[in-house]
Homo-oligomer: A and B are copies of this chain.
Amino acid sequence: MRAIVLPRFGGPELFEVQDVPPPTPGPGQVLIRIIASGTNPVDAKLRQDGSWAGLKPPVVLGYDASGVIEQVGPGVTDFKPGDEVFYTPEIHQNPLGTYAELNTVSASIVAKKPPSLSHEEAAAVPLAAGTAWDAIVRRLQLRVGETVLIHGGAGGVGSFAVQIAKAVGARVLATSGPDNLETLRKLGADVVINYRSEDAAQVALRETGGQGVDAVFDTAGKNVIPSLPATRAFGRIATILGFNGDVSAFYPRNLTLHGVFLVRERRRLEELTALIERKQVRPLVERVLPLEKLAEAHRQLDSGHGRGKVVLTVGRP
């Protein structure tokens, strides 16, 4: 099968189109013919050096896909060949990602593709929207009527977080650079904040009469500590990145900090599908490129300035 191989860790120019042996599904696994593969910031991090995740080059990266079941492994009863599905495979020590024509994955983390989405749209969903759901619903437990501040609201995870927070019934304050403020408005943000020219914490305090927001979600990094004074007593802050510094301000006001890292499960994808089919959530696809242009997609990931997602077309439905 055709795959994009990374022969060693480094820059986007290293990617090579290669013909590699197709995988075969083991017990509990399905073999998927990939139609579209998503890209995520973690791909660029792994390309640079994926040893922290147990990866050893040569590897095929890619952790989001939409496609068609080609074959089911022993014991798999909930799918049949021809089913259209989407999923995000595990990263750790997985040498074959979704930048390839075929991929095997545990059936337990695969779900039927949302019918109203194209494969390109569906491939933009699992990792980013799953992470946004885990942060907003599972960990922050955001409730109707609450106010949330989302840092990086136009990015891959952030654009889903804004929509999921609106679906919850919350009031959404979201930040982006000046180019993406209109995107934030279209996603449904109630208050848009240009982080280049405004202090998000000050806006959050002003918008809540000095009380602070109920919850904060940092998808961009380095916003946890600056957000502490803008969060109400017993407020919650979630981040998908680590942070470093003086956290002393969090205990006198009974704040809670959640570190969020997606747990793959079919149920999460089905929960997202329900929102997608009700038109409450829509993936924000910025560009669609053929698989061969992967290096170009990675250059955009490296820039750190995305508006939604870059998706790769791999095959035909």
Q: How long is the Cα–Cα vector from A258 to B252 in the complex, in angstroms? A: 11
- Please name all residues of chain B whose beta carbon is closer than 8 Å to the beta carbon of A243 when the two chains form the complex: 247-248
Q: Which of A88-142 contact B (CB under 8 A)?
A: 134, 139
User: Which of the segments A174-182, A234-242, A295-303 contacts the partner chain?
Assistant: A234-242
Q: Is A305 an interface residue (CB 8 A)?
A: no
Q: How long is the Cα–Cα vector from A249 to B239 in the complex, in angstroms? A: 12
Q: How long is the Cα–Cα vector from A243 to B228 in the complex, in angstroms? A: 13
Asked if A261 meets B257 with Cβ closer than 8 Å, knowing A242-B247, A248-B244, the reply is: no
- Please name all residues of chain B whose beta carbon is closer than 8 Å to the beta carbon of A45 when the two chains form the complex: none
CB atoms of B256 and A252 under 8 A apart = no
Q: How long is the Cα–Cα vector from A241 to B251 in the complex, in angstroms? A: 6
Q: Is A260 an interface residue (CB 8 A)?
A: yes
Give the bracket for the number of chain A residues in contact with chain B.
Answer: 20 to 34
Q: Quick one: which of B239, B251, B259, B261 contacts A259, CB cutoff 8 A? A: B251
Identify the A interface with B (CB < 8 A): 134, 139, 239-261, 263
Q: How long is the Cα–Cα vector from A181 to B237 in the complex, in angstroms? A: 36
The 10 lowest CB-CB distance pairs between A and B, nearest first, are: A242-B248, A251-B259, A250-B259, A257-B257, A244-B246, A252-B261, A256-B258, A255-B259, A243-B247, A254-B261
Q: How long is the Cα–Cα vector from A240 to B254 in the complex, in angstroms? A: 9
Q: How long is the Cα–Cα vector from A186 to B244 in the complex, in angstroms? A: 39
- Please name all residues of chain B whose beta carbon is closer than 8 Å to the beta carbon of A250 when the two chains form the complex: 242, 257, 259
Looking at A249, A253, A257, the one whose CB has the most chain B CB atoms below 10 A away is A257
8 additional A-B residue pairs with CB within 8 Å, beyond A253-B261, A254-B258: A134-B254, A139-B256, A245-B245, A247-B247, A252-B259, A256-B256, A257-B257, A257-B258
Looking at A239, A253, A259, the one whose CB has the most chain B CB atoms below 10 A away is A259
- Please name all residues of chain B whose beta carbon is closer than 8 Å to the beta carbon of A248 when the two chains form the complex: 241-244
Q: Write the nearest CB–CB distance from A228 to chain B, whole angstroms.
A: 9
- Please name all residues of chain B whose beta carbon is closer than 8 Å to the beta carbon of A253 when the two chains form the complex: 259, 261
- Cβ contacts A to B, 24 pairs, < 8 Å: A139-B256, A239-B251, A240-B251, A241-B248, A241-B251, A242-B246, A242-B248, A242-B249, A244-B245, A244-B247, A244-B248, A247-B257, A247-B259, A250-B257, A250-B259, A251-B260, A252-B261, A253-B261, A254-B260, A254-B261, A254-B263, A255-B258, A256-B256, A256-B258
